[in-house]
Amino acid sequence: DSKALMKVYLNAVEGYIPDNMMCTFHAFLEFCYIARHNIITEDMLKDLEDTLEHFHKYCEIFIATNVRSNFVLP
């Protein structure tokens, strides 16, 4: 189950990476989990929008820590 794996991944890196990076990973994994469903309801679409907003709020940590120089994604 993807949701169970998400918890494993997040628990594995917790304490080893900055909190904002954890928030970014959580948002990314949550977005992937919701988006993989065969049917997406209005509530799920709202959750996707919220999760994407959350991702963009925290992704700047990768620039601040020199992991990436920008976030121009294809």
The answer on pLDDT for 44 being more than 80 is yes
The answer on pLDDT for 73 being more than 70 is no
Residue 27: inside a domain:
yes
Residue 60: inside a domain:
yes
Domains in the chain, number: 1
Q: How confident is the model at residue 68 (pLDDT cuts 50, 70, 90)?
A: confident
Residue 54: inside a domain:
yes
| Containing structural domain, residue 54 | 2-64
pLDDT at 20: 93
Q: Tokens for 23? A: 């928030």
Q: How far is CA 51 from the centre of its chain?
A: 7
Q: Tokens for 63? A: 């620039």
Residue 20: inside a domain:
yes
pTM of the model: 0.81
Residue 69: inside a domain:
no
Of residues 66 and 73, more confidently modeled? 66
